[in-house]
Structure 1
Amino acid sequence: MKALIDNLAVARKKSKNLLGQMLPSEVADRIMAGEITKPVSFECATVFFSNIVGFSDIAAEANSIDIVNLLNDLYKYFDTIIDNHDVYKVETVGSQYMVVSGIPKRNGENHVSEIADMALTLMSGIYSTFKVRNLDIKVELRIGIHSGPTVAGVVGTKAPRYCLFGDTVNTAARMESSGSAMRIQVSEPTYELLRKTGQYNFEIRGKIPVKGKGHMTTYWLTGKTGFISPLPKLEDFPLAN
């Protein structure tokens, strides 16, 4: 009987660890306890999207193993950086990487600074440190950030996922897709929140057409007071046509 109990305990611990890798720990704990998880609304959070510029062309010219190695190396590198910030990695889809702050743990207005600091660190690392194995290429990122209300909840049972829903997510994705290589594009709500801190540097991009949103005023996040790691200069990376 003791052996059976021990085996059950081990199996339960493995299940909890696996679930904890797929979901936020507090959400995983509630599921393991048999509680029903309901969608939760968050008044304001900051959502980050990044993508590899020209990834389709890179994938077409390289072999599949090198592409898998590229993404694995890149995401492992990203993961080591986000561990130093109060953020949650929502998912990776192909070359796209999605992170949020302020969800599932509320952190006041710190969410916008956590994402901005993370974005600057990631951009600096890609610009000055990250190397690609076996491929004679230099990875360039396109980053987009937006802040606003969001709903989060668990979707699915066999392979549950913690997903974000709402216009904030869509707009953050548009900030990425309408951006440009080695630039961090932020929406006006994100800009206003960061501007209040008095710590960040920007260049205004102006009004641009954003799919599904009409025209929006956006900004390039270019640095932060006291941030000494090297960052790409905008003039070295002209806007995409």
Structure 2
Amino acid sequence: MQAKRHYKYYDLLLAAFVTALLCSNLIGAGKAAVVDLPILGMTVFGAGILFFPITYLFGDILTEVYGYGHDRRAVWAGFAALLFAAFMSVVVIQLPPADNDYMRQYQIGLETVFGNTWRIIAASMLAFWCGSLANAYVMAKMKILTQGQHLWMRTIGSTAVGEAIDSSIFYFMAFYAIWPTEQVIAVALAQYVLKTSWEILMTPVTYRVIAWLKRKESEDYYDYHTNFTPFRLKV
């Protein structure tokens, strides 16, 4: 039986991944922002898009260096964190505020910002789980097919698949019948284009981080014998 490897940086990457996931979903996801883009003009997008793609960057790095199993474990950790955040938001909002003007206004603010959190979290969990595992699966399979060559093709291709699934699920599940339907569609499409473009722009950074980690960890994992079921925590 092969001894289990101990990695120096995996736990740090896992913590950073979960932090980026929680912040991008809770702080940025509910705000529809607007930016003037070349060709596209005034484009509406979810504010979380500025930071959520970091989670896919982490996913690519984890799969490329440590393998699908370690990325799947990180996805489940993120899933649990989102579930706890949903539970906590419901409990905190339901607690009666102290009887003073400040806390009454504070309660209104909490309900405005986190009152839809249960729906956002449900959408986030399903979209994130499906999209991230699809991203990891495509990344791992493409690594085998390309024999470890063309990293840019794997990172961009896997992200294009994962983000398509993520964007399709999240915005319709989270904001349908809350935002106008045309805005839901526009934001979902804009998010997909911007997130995928973000991944392309970050390719040089991804290359450097992956190369550094492979050297430091003495690892470059190929998922030849991996069980790709998404329903397990074991690496």
Q: Which has the higher contact order (CA 8 A, sep 6+)?
A: 2
Decide: shared fold, TM above 0.5: no
Q: Which has the higher strand share?
A: 1
Q: Which has the higher helix share?
A: 2
State the TM-score, normalizing by the size of structure 2. Answer: 0.31
